[in-house]
Structure 1
Amino acid sequence: MRILILGGDGMLGHQLLCSWQERHEVAVTLRRPLQTYSEYGIFTRENSYDAIDARELGRLHEVLRDFQPEVVVNAVGIVKQRDEAHAAIPSIEVNALLPHRLHAACAELGVRLVHLSTDCVFSGDKGGYREGDLEDARDLYGRSKLLGELRQAPAITLRTSIIGLELSRKKSLIEWFLAQHGRIQGYRRAIYSGFTTIEMARIIERILTRHADMYGLWHVASQPISKYDLLLQLAHLLHKDIEIVADDSFVCDRSLDASRFNAHTGYRPPTWDVMLAELAEQVRERKA
Structure 2
Amino acid sequence: MRKLVCALSVLVLLSACSSRKKTISNSQAHHNNKEIQKAHSDAIANYTTYTADQYIQRFKTIAIQEMNAYGIPASITLAQGLFESGNGNGDLARIANNHFGIKCTADWKGKSYYKDDDQVNDCFRVYDHPEDSFRDHSNFLKRKRYAALFELDKNDYQGWAYGLKAAGYATNPKYPQLLIGVIQKYNLDQYDRPEGELQKIKREDRVLSQINQNIGKAVKDSIIQVTPTDKLYTVKQGDTLFNISKRFGLTVDELKALNNMGDNNIKIGQKLVVIK
Please give the TM-score of this superposition, normalised by the length of structure 1.
0.25
Q: Higher strand fraction: Structure 1 or Structure 2?
A: 1
| More helix, by proportion | 2
| TM-score for both structures, normalised by structure 2 | 0.25
